[in-house]
């Protein structure tokens, strides 16, 4: 065998081994977001850009809670983590399904939030997402929220992932104001010795068709997840064991929608009720009925 071929084969093997090791390190970091955590959520508007003299900024927002992050799926190229919130009396907490995050390796299919409950389907090529992980974040009813793709970085003892993407307003905002309709989220997920941190630099934007987007304010957000004894989250673990099959059916129904690879527009309500109000009902357990309800919200 010619010397240059030996060198080339050696380089290819080295690159392949590095890629496999890097991917494993990425997956290990992602799965460190699973477990039982005491969470603090803190948000503050930092800069005003609005030209409206009567503009009123959001008040500083701070809350805390106990959250169980359940590892639902761990396959070669896909990790699913379901967050479950525990509130009230620690001895007998109220358990509620919270947000969900899916991580896909070298994913090429994206639903990018536009505005007003609309998501635009975009397809990237393999080169654009090489070595990257897409984080897809879903609402409590497993409808889309926001997603973006970037590489995990492991350097100087740190492991983090950063991405900027558009998103609908969070509940803490849309329940109090309607003067903007898009939140451009600057997300940074960093694994720490005691848990992990979701660091955010967000822009509040008015987005109207045919007009240039207008930034009215910027906000800082820091969500700190402090790992605690898993016994504190026992109620959430038991709740998931009881309800996981139901939410598997819900995910499968939504996957039928996402697999169509076309734009999505959702109704806010059907017959005066939100989608989560239907799905959270203990009476809603039939998978055909749940799918019918989900499809009724698609415009």
pLDDT, position 20: 78
Quote the Cα angle for 220-222-227, to 5°: 175
pLDDT at 86: 98
Contact (Cβ atoms closer than 8 angstroms) between residue 58 and residue 176? yes
pLDDT at 287: 96
Nearest to 27 by CA among 81, 74, 69, 82: 74
C-alpha 33/C-alpha 191 separation (Å) is: 8
What is residue 5's predicted lDDT score, i.e. its pLDDT? Answer: 61
**Which pLDDT belongs to residue 4?**
61
Exposure string (b/e) for 256-269, b if CB count within 10 Å is 16 or more? Answer: ebbeeeeebebeee
CA dihedral sign, ordered 289, 266, 173, 219: positive
Nearest to 149 by CA among 135, 159, 139, 138: 135
What pLDDT is attached to residue 90?
87
Give me the tens of pLDDT residue by residue for the chain, a chain 299 residues long: 677 666 556 555 455 566 779 999 999 999 999 999 999 999 999 999 999 999 999 999 999 999 999 999 999 999 999 999 999 998 899 999 999 999 999 999 999 999 999 999 999 999 999 999 999 999 999 999 999 999 999 999 999 999 999 999 999 999 999 999 999 999 999 999 999 999 999 999 999 999 999 999 999 999 999 999 999 999 999 999 999 999 999 999 999 999 999 999 999 999 999 999 999 999 999 999 999 999 999 99
Q: Which residues pair with 136 in a beta bridge?
A: 102, 147
- Closest among 100, 111, 147, 142 to 249, alpha carbons compared: 142
DSSP string, the chain: --HHHHHHHHHHHHHHHHHHHHHHHHHHHHHTT-EEEEEEEEEEEEEE----TT--PPPPEEEEEEEEEEEEEE-SSEEEEEEEEEES-TTSPEEEEEEEEEEEET--EEEEEEETTEEEEEE--GGGGTT-EEEEEE-TTS-EEEEEEE--EEETTEEEEEEEEEEPPPHHHHTT--S--EEEEEEEEEEETTEEEEEEEEEEEE--TTS--EEEEEEEEEEEEEE--GGGGHHHHHHHHHHHHHHHHHHHHHHHHHTT-S-EEB-S-BTTB-HHHHHTSTT---HHHHHHHHHHTB-
The pLDDT of residue 10 is: 56
Report domain extents, the chain. Answer: 3-231
Residue 266 pLDDT: 98
Q: What are phi and psi of 47, to 5 degrees?
A: -140, 140
């Amino acid at each position: 065998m010619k010397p240059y071929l030996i060198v080339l084969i050696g380089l290819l093997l080295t690159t392949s081994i590095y890629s496999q090791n890097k991917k494993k390190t990425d997956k290990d970091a992602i799965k460190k977001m699973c477990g039982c955590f005491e969470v603090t959520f803190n948000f503050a508007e930092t800069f005003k850009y609005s030209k409206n003299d009567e503009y009123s900024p959001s008040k500083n927002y701070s809350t805390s809670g106990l959250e169980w992050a359940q590892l639902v799926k761990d396959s070669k190229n896909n990790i699913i983590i379901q967050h479950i919130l525990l509130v009230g009396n620690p001895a007998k907490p109220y358990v509620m399904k919270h947000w969900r995050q899916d991580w896909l390796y070298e994913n090429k299919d994206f639903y990018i939030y536009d505005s007003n409950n609309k998501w635009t389907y975009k397809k990237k090529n393999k080169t654009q997402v090489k070595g990257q992980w897409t984080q897809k974040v879903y609402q409590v009813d497993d409808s889309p929220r926001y997603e973006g793709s970037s590489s995990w970085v492991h350097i100087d003892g740190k492991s983090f992932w950063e991405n900027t993407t558009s998103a609908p307003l969070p509940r803490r905002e849309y329940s109090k104001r309607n003067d903007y309709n898009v939140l451009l989220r600057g997300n940074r997920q960093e694994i720490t010795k005691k848990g992990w941190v979701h660091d955010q630099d967000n822009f509040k934007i008015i987005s109207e068709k045919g007009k240039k987007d207008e930034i009215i304010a910027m906000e800082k957000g820091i969500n700190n997840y402090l790992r605690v004894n898993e016994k504190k989250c026992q109620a959430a673990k038991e709740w998931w064991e009881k309800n996981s099959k139901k939410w598997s059916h819900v995910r499968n129904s939504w996957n039928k929608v996402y697999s169509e690879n076309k734009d999505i527009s959702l109704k806010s309500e059907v017959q005066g009720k939100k989608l989560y109000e239907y799905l959270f009902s203990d009476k809603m357990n039939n998978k055909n009925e749940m799918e019918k309800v989900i499809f009724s919200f698609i415009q």
